[in-house]
Every structure is written in structure tokens, then in C-alpha cells.
Amino acid sequence: MLETLKKHLTQTSFKTQLLLLFVMGLSILAIVVTLATTVSTHYLMENMFITRNKILVEAFAKQSTLALLYGSEENSRDAVRIVSAFQSVEYAAIHEVNHKRLFEYGKSVPGIDLPPPYPIQKELDAHWVFIEPVVVMNPIDKEPSNGGGQSNQKPQFLGYVKVLVSKSELQTIQSTIVLSNGLIIFILSAILYFIFRKLVNQMVEPLQTLTRTMKKREEGQTGVRASLQGAKELHTIGEAFNQMINVLEEREEALIKEMHSREKAEENVRQHQRELAHFSRLKTMGEMASGIAHELNQPLAAIVNYTGGCLERLQTEQTVPEFVAVVQKINDQAERAGAIIHRLKDFLRKGNAVTESVDVRLAIENVLKLIECELNQYEIKWSVQANECPKALMDKTHFEQVTLNIIQNAIEAMKENTEGKARLLTITVGLSGKEMVEVSIKDTGPGIPPEILEKLFEPFFTTKEEGMGMGLSIVSSILESHGGRIQVSSMVGEGAMFKLFMPGEGIRDK
């Protein structure tokens, strides 16, 4: 119960809580006041009722004096007429000294024949009984002294009167008073409630305004300030809020400036990274230049041969169909040379990175074609194993650059192998988990010592005499910028294996 109340109180507004407390207080006050008034009024009215009836009975007794002196019914009736005018008087009787009833009015009830001494005042269930003696005061001596003004009289008992008064009148009056009290208190409470409600509204309004201001701020509006009104505490809260907002807005402004400068810095970094990658590719091309020249030499030599053959045939006047076959071969070789140039051009393309869907296997084969000459030169056998044909989400050129860099390193490592050990380059394409594409490039080179492994991706770290030490660092940063990563494992004398992880496209759906 208490918990429910607590919970309710925490969920209701301050205004409702104030009103609830006031209503509770007012209700308790109303109940207490009604009860107290009722009890006090009850006793007051009862005392007044008794006193009034006592006076009435005393007057009745006085009026009955003559009736008892005369023993007259007529005089008795006159006396009773006065007392019977009161509605609550249900029974009245005049008795002589010997208890003989001289006259009676109304209906008697049992239990009211009470012995002297009189006067008697007794409460029954539904009535009050009053018995008052009828006495006359006789002067002992009618003379001037009379005890010097003091009573020098002797009472003479003539009889008594008996009056039965119903409590119904008293009960009706008491009920009316209770009802009136209740009604007055209810009306008063209602008036007080409305007055208090108005006051609470006035008290709470600044708080609500402050809450609305805070809400606006929460929704993101700027420049909002609390208006300082209401109680002293609310002033303090408003001032604190305004101060807090001032500080917050200053910090926000600083943060925005910081963000802008950071974005600018990041853009610069990205720009440098792009330029670095391009530079790296140019360098790679430079390193590959003799291989490419050799590569291009073959189709060009073939074109020269075929062109010389065509010239001899033209001099020997052979038939056209033979020319077609030769020209076809010239064309093929020229296309081959063009493709080589095209791949080079693609590789050296300079521009912003564009995340796209890259067919990993196809991209790897392109790279292998670029470097095929070197592979063949150093008698390296390669294989691409791909159970799946996944697509990676990254810039295609960057992927090719990463792959080429790792393969070139593998070639570099294996070409030094002069111990007759087979030179094998094994590339495996697969999935890693549900989101990543995994490409493993394994060589049979001398392997990488553990102390070097730790520093392998640090910038400007190299084991080559002519190297700059930026290759693997760029590879690592390219992959990280695309949400991927690179791992390396190696056993000295056995070779090394690089694992490239890149975000894959549509892998989760599979």
C-alpha cells in the first residue's frame, strides 16, 4: 500500500502532490473539527436542554401552587397548559403531598414513579424525567426585622409536579447541528480547496515554465533561458539552470570548433593517405618497370614478327586468308599490350577512395597478371584457392594495392631462397565469421623473426636496404580505414602468412 503510494507520488506532478497533501490535510482537519464540534455541541445542547426543561418544570411547579392549595382541577389544567405547550413534553402530572395525583396530561411511561427527596432529574432511554417539589415560603414572623433582610421563611411542602420530556427534540436539534456543521465545513473546505488550488497554480506555474524551458533545451533548442519568477528557491534553480546553459553552450561552441578542426585534420590525413598510397603505387610501378617492360616486350616482339611476316607474304603475293590470320594475331598482341597498359593506368589512378563491391577473386587475379612476369622470373608457382566467391566492400584500387604489396613482399622473400626449396605462393579466399572476407597469402620464404613481427606494421620500419618502411604501414592503415585489419604469422624457415580481413557484402544474409 505504502509502496503503491510512493510509486504513485513519484509518478505524479508536484502540483498534484501538493493538492493531494492539502486535500488530505483538509479532510483530516474537517473530520476532526466536525467530530470536536459535534461532541461539544452535543454536550452543550444536552445541558441547554436540561436547563431549559428544569426552568420549565420549576415554572410549572410554581404555577401548580394554587392548584395544590385549592385542590382544583381547573387550576391544575391552567398550570399544565403552560407546560404542555412544549412539544417535547409528553407527560405532566401534579401530585399532592400524599402522592395522590391531582391532575395528569399525556401518557406516562414505566419507571418514573420515583420516591423523594425531590427535586429529581433522571435520564431514561428516550426521555428525561423531572420531579420538582411545590413549596410555599411562609414568613415565620411578618415584622420589620425579618433577620435584617435575610430569609426568615419556612418552606411548606404542598406536593410535587412530574414532567416527562422526550429526547427526540434534542436529538433532532443535535442531528441538525451535526448536519449543518458538516455542510458548513464541507463548503468551507471546498472554498479553501479552490483558493489553495489557485495559489498552488501560482506557485507551480514558474516551476512548470522552468520545466518547459528545460524540455526545449532537451529537444535541442538553443538560446533558451529560464525566466526568473516565483519562489526564492525557483529563482535559485532558474539562475543555476541559466548558468549551466551558458557553460554548456560555450562548451558546445568549443566542441563544434574542435569537431570542425578535427574533420579538417582528418581530411588532411585522408588526403595525405591517398597521396601516400598513390606514391606507394608509383613506387611499386617503378620497381615493376623492368618486369612490365619485359611483359610489354613479348606482345610488341610478336607484333614485329607478325608484321615482318606480313611484309614477306605481301612481297611473295600470297592469298588474303593467310593475311587475316596474321593480322588477327597482331591485333591480339596489341590488345594484350593495351590491357597491360590499362591495368597499370587503373592501378596508378589518383582520386578519392570509393567504397564499392569488389570481386575479391577477380581482383586478386588482376594483381597476379600485373606481377606475373616477376613470378615467372623467380620461378614462383602460385595458386588461388577460393571455395566461395565473396565480395568485399572497399575501394578496388586500394584492395589491389594491399594485395600487390603483400604478394611483392612474398616474392622478395622467396627470391632469396636459393636452397632449392620450392617457391610457392598460396592465396586462399574465404569468409571470417558472418561479416568479414578473409584473404590469406602464404609464402615459402625464410619467415619473419618474432622480434621483427612486432614492429612489422610500424611506419618507417624496414629490413630492406633500399626500402622506405612505409609499405605494410600503408597496407594496415588502408584496411583499417575500410573497417578491416591485417594479421601476420610466421615460423622462421617455414615462411610467412598474412591474413587480410575486409567487410564483406551480403555475407550476413547468407
Question: Minimum distance from CB of 108 to another protein (Å)?
Answer: 26
All 3 cell numbers of residue 246?
A: 551558458
- Could you tell me which of 246, 150, 189 has the C-alpha nearest to residue 22? 189
Classified as helix, coil or strand, 123 is strand
| Distance, CA of 407 to CA of 409 (rounded, Å) | 5
Question: Minimum distance from CB of 77 to another protein (Å)?
Answer: 14
Q: Which residue is associated with the grid cell 586478386? A: 364
- Could you tell me which of 114, 117, 61, 52 has the C-alpha nearest to residue 86? 52
Task: Please say whether the beta carbons of 188 and 106 come within 8 A.
Answer: no
Question: Minimum distance from CB of 65 to another protein (Å)?
Answer: 4
Binding site for another protein (CB under 8 A): 65-66, 68-72, 136-150, 156, 158
Question: Minimum distance from CB of 95 to another protein (Å)?
Answer: 14
**Which of residues 71 and 111 has its CB atom nearest to another protein in the complex?**
71
**Which of residues 65 and 305 has its CB atom nearest to another protein in the complex?**
65
Q: What is the largest CA-CA distance in the chain?
A: 198
Question: Minimum distance from CB of 168 to another protein (Å)?
Answer: 34
All 3 cell numbers of residue 196?
A: 489553495
| Distance, CA of 130 to CA of 145 (rounded, Å) | 37
Q: Could you say which DSSP state residue 463 is in?
A: S
- Could you tell me which of 493, 478, 386, 392 has the C-alpha nearest to residue 441? 386
**E-strand stretches of 210-363:** 356-359
Task: Please say whether the beta carbons of 402 and 475 come within 8 A.
Answer: yes
Any idea of the CA torsion for 48, 53, 59, 63, to the nearest 10 degrees?
Answer: 170
Question: Minimum distance from CB of 88 to another protein (Å)?
Answer: 27
Output the CA angle 285-290-296, nearest 5 degrees: 95
Q: Which residue is associated with the grid cell 435520564? A: 123
Residue 122: strand pairing partners: 129
Question: Minimum distance from CB of 146 to another protein (Å)?
Answer: 7
| Distance, CA of 471 to CA of 211 (rounded, Å) | 58
Residue 439: strand pairing partners: 429, 500
Name every residue whose Cβ is closer than 8 Å to that of residue 81 and which is 6 or more positions away in sequence: none
| Distance, CA of 165 to CA of 370 (rounded, Å) | 130
Task: Please say whether the beta carbons of 428 and 390 come within 8 A.
Answer: no
All 3 cell numbers of residue 109?
A: 411511561
Task: Please say whether the beta carbons of 484 and 502 come within 8 A.
Answer: yes
**Which of residues 35 and 140 has its CB atom nearest to another protein in the complex?**
140
Cα Rg of the chain, angstroms:
61
Task: Please say whether the beta carbons of 369 and 343 come within 8 A.
Answer: yes
